[in-house]
Structure 1
Amino acid sequence: MKAYPDAIFSGSFEEFDMDIAYGKALFVDLGTGAQRSEVLDESILRKYIGGSGIATWLLISMAPPGIDAFDPGNPLVFAVGPLCG
């Protein structure tokens, strides 16, 4: 059984380069479509382990205190960790 379908990943895990996405965040402004990618500081990656930890840090660092849950300026965070399939 393969971990990835051939359409997505053709090779072995030894050939898969984790540096392609690991430790990076993609920011997209849903109103304008503008996007940017940032490499997250290694200290943040070590302190907030996994997708849930990084998502929590991003939300806390980007959302103004007391912002309404339905405010258009509220960040929407999607994050995955090493145990997601």
Structure 2
Amino acid sequence: MLNKTIRISEEVHESLSSLASKNDTFNDVIKRLIEQNEEFTDEQAEYYNQEIERIENGIYEGVNEISLEELEKRVTQLEKEIKHEL
């Protein structure tokens, strides 16, 4: 692997350090951040647009109803998982 040197501020260095897990390199952290910022593919965007349109038109086939409490639990769990991955 070809290595490159980049200049970053102390603030950015600290931010990257805080996002890294025990065994992560800065390369790992930066790669994850880039992957998280990638846009939807055309196919993904089309799928999500179709699903939104279905719901807007009152077609709820395949949609499950959950309570606000359950939703909050799921969001909290996902936040923990995301934080752990970083």
- TM bucket, shorter chain: under 0.3
Of structures 1 and 2, the one with the larger relative CO (CA 8 A, separation 6+) is 2
TM-score of the pair, normalised by structure 2: 0.26
Q: Which has the higher strand share?
A: 1
What is the TM-score of this pair, normalised by structure 1? 0.26
By percentage of residues, which structure has more helix? Answer: 2
